[in-house]
Structures are given as structure tokens and as C-alpha cells.
Amino acid sequence: MVFRLQKELIFPNPELAEEDGLLAVGGDLSTERLMLAYSNSIFPWPSEGQPITWFSPPERFVLFPEKLRISSSMSKFLKHKSFEMTLNKAFPEVIASCAAIKRMGQRGTWITKAMKEAYIKLHQEGHAWSVETWSEDVLVGGIYGVLVANVFCGESMFSKKNNASKAALIHLIQNHSFSLIDCQVHTNHLESLGAEMISREQYLSYLR
């Protein structure tokens, strides 16, 4: 069943979501609503010019830091220190690059202008982080996401050079003590790093 949100700051029970995870439509992207959503395993996935859609899939693709897999070739690459890594140095640039990057099999982007503005505000208030990958002072990769309890809810990554986004994720995991990284949906790229599916119930237990 899909619910229509009004001005009241409330979400329906995530267990009432459709099979594809669609739970609600409408509402806004205020800091208060976004943080309430993430705290209850819900995230927005809008389209430009359309009402905001909110999802809570029955299964969540996550990466436990202790299960991170780094290939021998990636280990060698990281030892060469080809990149410089930073934290929260260029959040607006990271989200803009994530929105602009072309992705195979995907038309357009869910990172609308309103989403950029909302997440930059989240960042300014300390709820969202970015990791940046630099090569000769040029931003070539990165990741951004929202912090809830001890979970990093990854929103998007981008890469303009081989291994740039992967290096950002590895840096995030190795330098901060999160209980898990929420990857939201399955990708082969993240599976190769050790990500796996868990139930919504398991995921909620980490948020709480």
C-alpha cells in the first residue's frame, strides 16, 4: 500500500511498503523529515518535476566493515598512494559530480536540484559526510551519505579515474568505526567488495 504524505512529520510503518519497497509519496526534503526517514530504514528516490517517492525495501544491501574484501591488485594500487583522500572538504562538489556522472542503463538522475540543496543542508548540520578522492589537486572520485546512529547510509559515488570511488569507500571504512555501510541496492561493484543482503528487520536493529 502506498501512502500519501501530508504536512505532518510522520511515516507509515516500513513493513507496509510494496514489494519493490515503495512506501509513500509526497512530503518534503526538510532535515527533520529526512532524518526521520533514514532512522526508520526509509530513503527518498525522486524524479525531477514529480512528487517525492519514499522507499523501504524488504531487503537491504549492506557492507559490514569487518567483511570488506580488497583484492590484491587494489591493495597494490592503494600502496602506491596514487590518490589523496580527504573528508568533508568538498561535499557540494561530490554531490554535483554524482548527479552529473553518466551511468550505464540509467536515464537522468535521482539527484535533483532539490535533493542537492537538501543534502548540502544535512551536511552543514553535521548529518551528512563526503569522502573525496583527489589526483594532482583535481577531484576524481568520491562518496557521500547520511549518518544515522553508527550506520553510514551511502547515497551515491562517482569516479572519473579507475578505482577512485572504490578508494573513497575503502578509506571511509578503514578510517571510521561504523557498524555497517548501507549500500541500499545491489551492484556487482559493491558485491565484489563484500556487500551482502540482510532483511529490513536486521537493518532496523542496527539503526536502533
pLDDT by residue (tens digit) across 16-64? 999 999 999 999 999 999 999 999 999 999 888 889 999 999 999 999 9
Cα 128 to Cα 153: distance, rounded to the nearest angstrom: 9
Provide the pairing of β-strand 151-159 with 180-184. Answer: parallel
Both 198 and 119 in one domain: the answer is yes
Count of residues in the chain: 208
> What's the CATH number where 97 sits?
3.40.630.70
The set of residues, in sequence order, having a beta carbon less than 8 Å from that of 157 and lying 6+ positions away, is 98, 141, 142, 143, 165, 168, 169
Both 127 and 190 in one domain: the answer is yes
55 alpha-carbon distance from chain centroid: 13
**CA dist list (Å): 54 to 63, 102, 201:** 22, 23, 18
Both 166 and 96 in one domain: the answer is yes
Both 46 and 67 in one domain: the answer is no
The whole-number pLDDT of residue 101 equals 80
- In the block, which residue shows the cell 538522475? 109
- Secondary structure (3-state) at 134: strand
Both 12 and 69 in one domain: the answer is no
Both 90 and 47 in one domain: the answer is no
Model pLDDT for residues 57-113, shown as the tens digit of each residue: 999 999 999 999 999 999 999 888 889 999 999 999 999 999 998 755 555 577 999
Choose the final residue of a domain: 58, 77, 97.
Answer: 58
Both 163 and 84 in one domain: the answer is yes
Cα 16 to Cα 3: distance, rounded to the nearest angstrom: 9
Choose the final residue of a domain: 25, 42, 58.
Answer: 58
In whole numbers, what is the pLDDT of the chain averaged over residues?
A: 93
> What's the CATH number where 45 sits?
3.30.70.3550
Both 145 and 176 in one domain: the answer is yes
The whole-number pLDDT of residue 198 equals 97
- Number of domains within the chain: 2
Cα 148 to Cα 134: distance, rounded to the nearest angstrom: 27
Closest CA to 206 of 3, 5, 64, 25: 64
Both 67 and 158 in one domain: the answer is yes
Q: What residue numbers bound the domain in which 22 lies?
A: 3-58
Choose the final residue of a domain: 13, 29, 58.
Answer: 58
pTM: 0.92
Q: Are 40 and 151 in contact (CB under 8 A)?
A: no
Percent of the chain with pLDDT over 90: 83
Both 76 and 50 in one domain: the answer is no
**CA dist list (Å): 102 to 72, 97, 141, 168:** 28, 10, 13, 19
Cα 193 to Cα 187: distance, rounded to the nearest angstrom: 10
